[in-house]
Structure 1
């Protein structure tokens, strides 16, 4: 009688197929977990921006913007908000908008004048610069808030035109 030593080709192929199926299922779950983690990071960073704006408002009695005529609308096109971030992070010395040079917001590594979402796009920031307690948001008539932030990075990355991919600080 002949003794078997090792595995047959069929057995090895079955094991390889099973492992590849498990890896595929695991990678989808991992991808979803990473996406959820990035969403949570964006939400946390937007809350930090809002908190910094309100701390600035408590200190100076005004919002950190040069524009006093009309509200700074929440733009969903990737508008650069480095002017507001620069004031909140005290990036420039002797800034007339932050004369005490208080850092209300910790700068992200690599930049003290821009704050990027986890996908590398600048956060959109809206300010109620006419102080009527409302800010405008495209697609939403208005919010009763002094400040709001949005992340468009997921919308840009997914590139599927679904506005549900916007991440808002108030949701």
Structure 2
């Protein structure tokens, strides 16, 4: 009576096929996860633009900056800080401890980014996590995500336009993004 069963080669082939299928599925999941992070970041940047515009409408001035050194008590989106016309809070929970989808800090500030002598409001997706110093570097944004965000909000070129990143302008370092929308 012949023995029933699988040979070692047949088992190895089946295991190899399962391994290949698993890697294809995992690659698809990672791509979908990265697209979701990009969509989340784009949505947050658009929301920030609207919040700053509302703040300006209420007060006649742009808000003070809120970055790594900002706290709950100094966050201009949570506290009036003596600004006439302030009608907030403008951002639930504030900006002081807000993370972007890759784990870095969101900063909202103003500076003369274009060299015309006038400060522009900008949104900075920093690679440093909230509550850390500027050498944390745990929230680096992948280049593919930076390009996708730029393509959605601007001109698709990280070295030109209102959105710069990956060390190509507006004080951004590799893995960071600076967005200075028109108001």
Change in Cα spacing, 1:168 to 1:19, as seen in structure 2 (3 Å) is: farther
Map 1:62-141; keep pairs closer than 5 Å: 62-65=61-64, 79-80=67-68, 82=70, 86-88=75-77, 90=78, 92=79, 95-97=81-83, 100=86, 102-107=88-93, 113-127=96-110, 135-136=112-113
Structure number with larger C-alpha Rg: 1
Paired residue secondary structure (1:49):
helix
Paired residue secondary structure (2:122):
strand
Separation (CA, whole Å) in 2 of partners of 1:98 and 1:119: 36
Displacement of 1:155 after TM fit? 7.0
TM-score by length of 1: 0.62
TM-score by length of 2: 0.59
Confirm whether residue 148 of structure 1 aligns to residue 132 of structure 2.
Answer: no
CA RMSD of aligned residues (A): 3.8
Match of 1:166 among 162, 176, 181: 176
> Per chain length, whose mean CA-contact separation is higher, i.e. which structure has more relative contact order (CA < 8 Å, sep 6+)?
1
Paired residue secondary structure (2:75):
helix
Q: Deviations over 1:36-73 (max 9, x none)?
A: 2212212211222221111000011111128xxxxx9x
Higher helix share: 1
- What does residue 22 of structure 1 align with? 21
Confirm whether residue 10 of structure 1 aligns to residue 13 of structure 2.
Answer: no
Q: Which segment is superposed worse, 21-30 or 149-158?
A: 149-158
The answer (yes or no) to whether the contact 2:68–2:96 under 8 Å persists in 1 is no
Query: Which structure 2 segments of 5+ residues have no match?
Result: 128-137, 144-165, 169-174
Paired residue secondary structure (1:59):
helix
Report the count of equivalent residues: 141
The answer (yes or no) to whether the contact 2:113–2:120 under 8 Å persists in 1 is no
